Amino acid sequence: MNEKMIAQEIADGKAVLGIEFGSTRIKAVLINSENVPVAGGAFDWENSLVDGIWTYSMDEIHNGLQTCYADLKKDVKAKYGITLKKIKAFGVSAMMHGYLAFDKSDNLLVPFRTWRNTITGAASEKLSGLFNYPIPERWSISHLYQAILNKEPHVKDVAFFTTLAGYVHWKLSGKKVLGIGDASGMFPIDIAEKDFNKKMIGQFNDLIKGEGFGWKLEDILPEALVAGEDAGTMTAEGAKFLDPEGDLEPGTPLAPPEGDAGTGMAATNAVRERTGNVSAGTSVFAMVVLEKDLSAAYNGKIDLVTTPAGSLTAMAHANNCTGEYDKWINLFGEAIKACGFDVKKGDLYENLLSAALEGDKDCGGLIPYNYISGESMTGLSEGRPLFVRTQNCNFNLKNFMRAQLFTALGALRTGMDILFDKEHVAIDKLNGHGGFFKTAKVGLTVMSAAMHTPISTLSTAGEGGPWGMALLASFLVNGKGQKLEDFLDKDVFGSSKAETVMASDEDVKGFNEFFKNYTRGLAVERAAIENVD
C-alpha cells in the first residue's frame, strides 16, 4: 500500500489504533487495513518510589496518554499531511497487575500501586494456599488482601478496583471492563467459563466475612471480556480527554483493554495451544499456551494467566537477563578506547556476542551470575553479580561471552524445567522478541540451546505490544467471525517472514552441562548475598 492510499484510509477513518503503557514508555501504533504500522507516537516516563510504594500519579498517567496521542497526531500530519480525526477501532493496554481502587464517587482511594511492589508477600502466600493456585505478589488480589491484612482504612470504601489498562479504558468509554488476559493478572480465571473463578471468589468472600465490609469481591471486580467482544465506544468526554485539541470524533469501537503479556502474545502470533513466546531483554519471560491445567501450583515459579481469547497460559519469569552482559560489553568498549581505538556500539555488540558461538559448548567451566537484582525463581531475594571459575578452566573471550549469554537464561531455564520435566508440556514453536535477539543468529542459537526447542523471530517482532493491542482492536472490527488464532495466522502473519533456529545436539548438551554447574553454584551466589553488602 503506497503513501497516498494510506493517507486516504486514515482520512476515511479506516485506520486502527493501539496504545500501550509500558514501564518506561507509552507507545502508540496506528495500523492500516493490512494490519501494518503506518504511524506512531511515544512518551517516556518513569515510576516513582513514594512513601515506600512504586507508583505513577494520575497526572502522569493522563499527561502521558495525551502527550503520546499528540505525538501520534504529529507523525500522521508529518507523513501524510492530514489531521487524525476518525479511528475505526481502538484499544489500550498496559503493564499488568497492580492496584487502582476507587470509592462509589469514583475517587482514587490510595496512590496507584504498580506490579513492581513487593509488599504483599503475606497475602500472596495465604491466597495461594487457600486457592491451591499460584497468586503472585504483583497480582491485584494480593494487593487488596494485603491492604485488608494491614487494616488499611480505605478498604471499606472500595467500590471498584482495576488495572492501569482498565482505568484508562474506563476514562475513555465509561465502561468498567477488562480483557481476560489482563483480568487473569487480577484474580484467577475459570477457563471453561471465560470469567473470574466463582469458587475462588466464594472462598475469598468467606475469608474476609468477619471484616464487615459492605461489598463482596464480585461486586468490585471489572467485567472480564474475551478478544472480539464489545467493550464500549469512545464517549465524547473520552475523545476530548484523549485529544484535548478536539479533533478526534467520538464513537470509535473499543477493544477489551489488555495487559502487556496478552499484547505480546498477539504481536508474536502465540495464542494457539502448543505455541509460546519468549521476551528477553532487561528481564526475561516465556509464555506457553497450555493444552490442559498444570498438576500442581508452583507459586513463585510459574504464573498462570490467559491469552486474550481466554486460553490458559503458563508464564516463567526471571528478573535478570541482559543487564550484566551489557555492563561487561561496556567495560570492553572502555578498554578498547583506552588503547586509542574507537568502535561503534553496534559493532562492539555484534563482534563480542558472535564470539560466543565459537566457544566451548559448555563454556569451558566458566560460571557467571547475572543477578543484578533478586531472583525469586531461584529463591534469592537480592542479587550479587558474580564471576566464578576454576584454576584449570578454559578461560578465553569466546567462553566468557558464551557463559554471559548462557547465564542470562539460567533462571528462566529453572522455571521452564518445571514445564518440560514435571508437567511434560509440549511446544511446537516458540517465538522470540527483545534485545537478546538483536544479534539474531546468536540469540536464537543460545535460546534454542537453553529451551531445547526451535526458536523463531518474526520480521515484525520489533513492533511490540502497542502493535499487538492494535491487532486486537483490528480483530474486533475485522475478525469476521474467526477465532483470534485464525485471524492472526491468516490476516496478519500469513506472509510474515520468520527466521528459525534449532540448536545442535552438541549445543543443547553444552547448555545442560553449564546449567548443572550453574545450579550447584547458586550456593556461592547465596553466600555472596549473605556476606557482601
The pTM is what? 0.88
What does the pLDDT read at residue 433?
84
Helix (H) or strand (E) holding 258: strand 258-259
CA 158, 162, 164, 165 torsion-angle sign:
negative
Please count the structural domains in the chain.
1
112: in domain? no
Confidence category of residue 495, pLDDT binned at 50, 70, 90: confident
Cα–Cα distance, 127 to 129 (Å, whole number): 5
Give Cα 427 to chain centroid, integer Å.
20
Cα–Cα distance, 234 to 13 (Å, whole number): 14
* Averaged pLDDT of the chain: 95
> Mean pLDDT throughout 369-380?
90
Q: Which three cell numbers stand for residue 394?
A: 578454559
What does the pLDDT read at residue 440?
72
What does the pLDDT read at residue 438?
85
What does the pLDDT read at residue 201?
98
What does the pLDDT read at residue 462?
66
> CA-based Rg of the chain, rounded to a whole angstrom?
23
Find the range with the poorest average confidence among 235-249, 354-368, 446-460: 446-460
What does the pLDDT read at residue 25?
92
Asked if 7 contacts 454 with a C-beta cutoff of 8 angstroms, the reply is no
30: in domain? no
pLDDT in tens, 70-82: 999 999 999 999 9
DSSP state of 255: P
Residue by residue, DSSP assigns 88-99 as: SEEEEEE----B
DSSP state of 253: B
380: in domain? yes
Given a cut of 90, whether residue 494 has pLDDT beyond it is: no
Asked if 182 contacts 166 with a C-beta cutoff of 8 angstroms, the reply is yes
CA 371-374-378 angle, to 5 degrees, is 85
Cα–Cα distance, 319 to 36 (Å, whole number): 32
pLDDT in tens, 272-313: 999 999 988 888 889 999 999 899 888 878 999 999 999 999
254: in domain? no
Helix residue spans in 174-316 (DSSP H): 180-183, 198-207, 217-220, 236-242, 260-267
413: in domain? no
From its phi and psi, is residue 52 left (phi > 0), alpha (psi between -120 and 50) or beta? Answer: left
332: in domain? yes
Given a cut of 90, whether residue 468 has pLDDT beyond it is: yes
> Mean pLDDT throughout 468-497?
94
The contacts of residue 472 (CB under 8 Å, 6+ apart) are: 18, 91, 93, 179, 227, 255, 256, 258, 262, 263, 266, 308, 484
> Mean pLDDT throughout 136-158?
96
Given a cut of 90, whether residue 205 has pLDDT beyond it is: yes
Find the range with the poorest average confidence among 183-197, 349-363, 438-452: 438-452
399: in domain? yes
Given a cut of 70, whether residue 461 has pLDDT beyond it is: no
220: in domain? no
Residue 365's domain spans which residues? 323-407+506-531
Residue by residue, DSSP assigns 424-473 as: ----SEEEEESGGGSSHHHHHHHHHHHHTS-EEEETTGGGHHHHHHHHHH
Asked if 453 contacts 430 with a C-beta cutoff of 8 angstroms, the reply is yes
Given a cut of 80, whether residue 460 has pLDDT beyond it is: no
- Residue 265's nearest CA partner among 210, 306, 205, 217 is 306
What does the pLDDT read at residue 61?
97
- Measured in degrees and rounded to the nearest 5, phi and psi for residue 397 equal -65, -40
> Mean pLDDT throughout 214-239?
98
- Name the amino acid, one letter, at 240: K
> Mean pLDDT throughout 364-377?
92
Give 492: exposed, middle or buried? Use CB within 10 Å, 0-12, 13-18, 19+.
Answer: buried
Give 446: exposed, middle or buried? Use CB within 10 Å, 0-12, 13-18, 19+.
Answer: buried
What does the pLDDT read at residue 232?
98
The contacts of residue 394 (CB under 8 Å, 6+ apart) are: 360, 364, 365, 366
HSE, side-chain direction, 13 A CA sphere, residue 383: 19
Given a cut of 70, whether residue 252 has pLDDT beyond it is: yes
DSSP state of 87: -
Cα–Cα distance, 357 to 396 (Å, whole number): 13
